Amino acid sequence: MEYISYKKGYKYQLSESYVTNINLAPEQEDIETRYIDLTTEGKLTIKEGYAWDGPSGPTFDTLNFMRGSLVHDALYQLMRNEKLDKEMFREPADKLLQRMCRKDGMGWLRAKWVYWALHKWGNPAADPSNKKPVILAPHSI
């Protein structure tokens, strides 16, 4: 029987690749995946077609939150897929999100709330045991 395989939980899809330099980097070797590359110098490339769920939690998807949520979700995905060590990179990724949101015009109080909420409740999203499952349709085989 023919089927499709897919993952749920995404709201947005990148229409062109995004490249930025960040203050997080793998120590040993560059990370290269289908949609995310991160060099040992901190050059992060999120490729066209990458899908993410935008800002999470009890919040609004505002323009001053979108770029940070993209980068943060990509970094958490690298942690879930065990390309980055969660214990070493989770807090710096959360702080990077806060800085990016502030740079993009988010007020300091909301940005502080974003960081605090991630620090308190974000751990499962970076945990390798919470990879999004692949679903087969019309039914699992």
Q: What confidence tens digit (pLDDT) does each residue in 23-44 have?
A: 999 999 999 999 999 999 999 9
Domains identified in the chain, total number: 1
Whether residue 24 lies inside any domain: the answer is yes
Closest to 125 in 3D by CA, of 31, 60, 55: 55
- Provide the residue type at 86 as one letter: K
Whether residue 115 lies inside any domain: the answer is yes
Q: How far apart are CA 84 and CA 47, in angstroms?
A: 18
Whether residue 141 lies inside any domain: the answer is no
Whether residue 135 lies inside any domain: the answer is no
Q: What percent of the chain has pLDDT over 90?
A: 74
Which range marks the domain in which residue 90 is found? 12-129
| Mean pLDDT value of segment 5-9 | 84
- Provide the residue type at 92 as one letter: P
Whether residue 122 lies inside any domain: the answer is yes
Residue 34 CA: distances (Å) to CA of 47, 58, 68, 110? 8, 30, 20, 33
Residue 34: what are its φ and ψ, rounded to 5°? -60, -40
pTM of the model: 0.91
